[in-house]
Amino acid sequence: MISGYGSGNGFELYLLDRSGGDLSTFFDVAQNYIGKLRERPEISAAFSSYNINYPQYQVDVDAVKCKRAGISPTEVLSTLAGYYGGIYASNFNRFSKVYRVMVQASPDYRLDPESLNNIFVRINGEMAPISQFITLTKVYGSETMNRYNLFSSIAVSGLPAEGYSSGDVITAIREVADQQLPRGYGYDFGGITREENQSSNTTVIIFAICILLTYLILSGLYESFMIPMAVIFSIPFGLAGSFIFAKIMGLENNIYLQTGLIMLIGLLSKTAILLTEYAVDRRHSGMTLSQSAVASAKARLRPILMTALTMIFGLLPLMFATGVGANGNSSLGTGAIGGMIIGTIALLFIVPSLYINFEYFQEKIKPIKKKKKAPDNMIKKEMKQLEEVKVSELKVR
């Protein structure tokens, strides 16, 4: 439940009559639209409490009779409204409290149309029955007529079907509106559906800003516009893990999962940055592209795995959460864990390959200046470490 928006998971929208046409036509359009919504598999129920068949009395004031009697139609309607609907007169103080004074006829004297004969209006010092100036006609119409954004509106509510998210429902509402609503009629969302529709348009912008900031910071770090591409292009492989795990767990792409994706961009970027940074240092020390990439992956394997496993085990309670808020916690934890597992494994193999390609293009544009001091010692030291790792692996086997 979100305070101020209700306790359900339904949707809310308003059909708008922008043409200012007849209410009966508007009602028929709304009923046809609701019927088409019910046929969509994403929507389990759609309904509206609006009804134009509410029994009413239409009040017609005879302006000619009012003019002959020397009163205005406004006075007649004010008297009618006062006796039947009630009007505010004044306040009075009693027992240290302020009470409102309302003028209204007793319920026994306003039960039927014949009661109009007992309601009088003053004419030149005399009283005349108000029934002489008005005519009542039985009609059927809407009990109330609401307006939304200054247009006549009909509120429509409903519930999503099992297995479909609110985003799927919003898409279905738009598609049905484009197909069924005639010219001059429109719609707008209300309540939490309106907030979700407005915020969903900013998701792509947020991700684009995250990618852009990451690229600019890395460009300043490496003093290159090509090497940061190895980090940027490796991030989607990790984000794919979030959607794979969410699909396995039967979760939808909601705001909680998207929040976890933004967090993953930072975590996966950190892993890719460590790999490329070590590879750049070794390349500047005199190693070949392949040697620097492989040496970087092996040197950073243990720290990367320790960081990833710590994150994964820390988020396991969120992934298997129960009780209040379990869906949100599970979406956040599942997305983060899936992204860390698949992203970490993928980045260990993909980042070195991407680094080799983009570093190759970078050197074509601007050749690197290798360090002159003891490059052979650095190479020998790295090769010796690699041989020691191979020997230890053989001993374990």
Question: Number of helices and strands (H, E) in the chain?
Answer: 13, 11
DSSP-derived 3-state class of residue 64: helix
What does the pLDDT look like over 200-237, one tens digit per residue? Answer: 667 678 778 877 887 888 888 878 888 888 888 888 88
Identify the CA nearest to 254 among candidates 37, 9, 45.
9
Contacts of 195 (CB under 8 A, 6+ apart): 5
Terminal CA-CA length for the chain: 57
**In contact, 79 and 130? CB cutoff 8 Å:** yes
pLDDT averaged over every residue in the chain: 83
More confident residue, 214 or 245: 245
Residue 84 per-residue DSSP state: I
| Mean pLDDT of all residues in 61-66 | 90
Domains of the chain: 11-52+144-199 (3.30.70.1440), 54-141 (3.30.2090.10), 202-396 (1.20.1640.10)
- If pLDDT is split at 50, 70 and 90, which confidence band does 186 have? very high
> Which residue(s) pair with 130 in the sheet?
none
How crowded is the C-beta side of 280, counted as CA atoms within 13 Å? 22
Beta strands in 164-283 (DSSP E): 185-189
Is residue 318 predicted with pLDDT exceeding 90? no
Residue 1 has pLDDT above 70, yes or no: no
The confidence score (pLDDT) of residue 377 equals: 58
E strand or H helix at 156? strand 151-160
Give the separation between CA 96 and CA 32, rounded to whole angstroms: 57
Residue pair 17/152 in contact (Cβ under 8 Å)? The answer is yes
The arithmetic mean of pLDDT across residues 281-310, rounded, is 85
Contact (CB, 8 A) for 181 and 187: yes
Answer whether residue 99 shows pLDDT above 80: yes
CB neighbour list of residue 314: distance below 8 Å, 6 or more residues apart: none
pLDDT at 329: 85
Q: What digits encode the pLDDT tens for the residues 134-173?
A: 988 988 888 788 888 889 999 999 988 887 877 888 889 9
- Residue 153 confidence (pLDDT): 92
pLDDT digits (tens, 9 = 90+) for 4-39: 555 556 788 999 999 888 888 999 999 999 999 999
> pLDDT digits over 363-378, tens only?
887 776 655 444 455 5
Residue 386 has pLDDT above 70, yes or no: no
Instruction: Give the CA angle between residues 285, 351, 296 to the nearest 5°.
Output: 35
As beta bridge partners, residue 6 has 2
To the nearest whole percent, how much of the chain has pLDDT over 90? 11
What is the C-alpha separation between 84 and 103, in angstroms, rounded?
9
Residue 372: the pLDDT is 46
Lowest mean pLDDT: which of 90-94, 280-284, 336-340?
280-284
Is residue 24 within 8 Å of residue 52, measured between CB atoms?
Answer: yes
Classify 89 as helix, strand or coil.
strand
Say how far apart CA 313 and CA 302 lie, in whole Å.
16
Check residue 376 and give its pLDDT. Answer: 53
Can you tell me the distance from the alpha carbon of 57 to that of 49, in angstroms, rounded to the nearest whole number? 21
SS (H, E, C) 205-247: HHHHHHHHHHHHHHHHHHCCCCCHHHHHCCHHHHHHHHHHHHH
Whether the predicted pLDDT of 397 surpasses 70: no
pLDDT the model gives residue 390: 55
